[in-house]
Amino acid sequence: MRPSDRLIFHCRAQTGLIVTQLCTANGLAYSANKTVTQSSITAAFNANAKATADAAVAKMFFANGISFSIVESKHVKDAFTAVSKCGAGYKLPNRAMLSGKLLQEAVLEVDNKLKEFKTQMCVTGATLISDGWTNVQNRPIINYLSVTPDGAMFIDGSDMSGEVKDAQFIADEIKRNIEYLGKENIVQVVTDSAGNCAAARSILSEVYPEVVFSPCTAHCLDLLLEDIGKFHWASSVIDKGHRVIKFITNHQASLAHFRKRSTIELLKPGKTRFASFFLLCLTVCWQQKMHSRKLLWIENTSSGWQT
């Protein structure tokens, strides 16, 4: 481009910038390819109202410690859409109405959906799933869910405090839920791979020969990774990766240095999730690879070599 052409292009760009700023200051919309138009008063008021509403919603989240991910919930979006249709005169329900009438109506709606779920279960059959966990009060809980092509339905949650969770006890609990759903509606039962659960499946297979009793695939893979991690060639690598993670996370200077050069957090292994040890090593290897690439790029750039 000739110097004269560059000068003309620069002047046109500066002129367009000045015109745009003047139009914005006076409430006008300007585009280089369109005519100048003035924003309507209604649009200006709507923009101010939206900004006020956004600030009020943000303060609601901040003041009550609500997770930001709630904004993406379908129920939250449906609630705000319904409120907007009611107009400015809408008032929030009080605590008594939420815990009384509205709660009962929600429970009735869920019951109606579960009736449809049970009807579908009679057609396609269902898989009964059991899983044990410990709640925040350190109580052992066993949950039971029924799964069909339409989704999953919570059936029961039993508190196992003070109970001896041997094979016969677990078999009796699973049998109780099978009879509740109807043995003709159950095609498969899935439990974890613990010894007592495996023995319980053997007991139940004699009572219900038409039902398939299977171990949990995720738990089997977890135990498989645990066995692999016991090999010397694997345990030594896992130990080194664990020490690297522990050193970085336990020292503020090294952790700050790492966070300046990485966009992800280092993964700490879970006590009951053996796959986390392998994910830990993958994270360390990935970070090492990324830092090596950055170092190579810096060295090549400083030496004047470009790819």
CATH number for the domain spanning 202: value is 3.30.420.10
Same domain flag for 8 and 56: yes
Greater pLDDT, 168 or 241: 168
Percent above pLDDT 70 for the chain: 71
103 inside domain: no
Same domain flag for 211 and 244: no
- Provide the number of structural domains found in the chain: 3
pLDDT band at 9 (very low <50, low <70, confident <90, very high): very low
**Domain final position from 152, 186, 215:** 215
Domain of residue 205 covers 112-215
pLDDT band at 1 (very low <50, low <70, confident <90, very high): low
Angle (deg, nearest 10), helices 167-181 and 195-207: 50
Report the Cα 97 to chain-centroid distance in Å: 31
Same domain flag for 206 and 229: no
Determine the pLDDT at residue 219. Answer: 78
Determine the pLDDT at residue 94. Answer: 92
65-101 per-position pLDDT tens digit: 999 999 999 999 999 999 888 887 888 899 999 999 9
92 inside domain: no
Report the Cα 99 to chain-centroid distance in Å: 28
264 inside domain: yes
Give CA–CA dist 144/152, Å, rounded: 10
Percent above pLDDT 90 for the chain: 18
150 inside domain: yes
Residues 6+ apart with CB under 8 A from 89: none
Rg over alpha carbons for the chain, rounded to the nearest Å, is 31
pLDDT band at 45 (very low <50, low <70, confident <90, very high): low
Half-sphere exposure of 242 (CA within 13 A, CB side): 14
Best mean pLDDT range from 46-55, 112-121, 185-194 = 185-194
34 inside domain: yes
100 inside domain: no
Give CA–CA dist 248/58, Å, rounded: 35
107 inside domain: no
Determine the pLDDT at residue 234. Answer: 78
Rounded to two decimals, what is the model's pTM?
0.57
Answer for the pair 225, 275: CB distance below 8 angstroms, yes or no: yes
Average pLDDT over residues 27-31: 47
Work out the angle at residue 240's Cα, subtended by the Cα atoms of residues 234 and 243, and round it to the nearest 5 degrees. 140
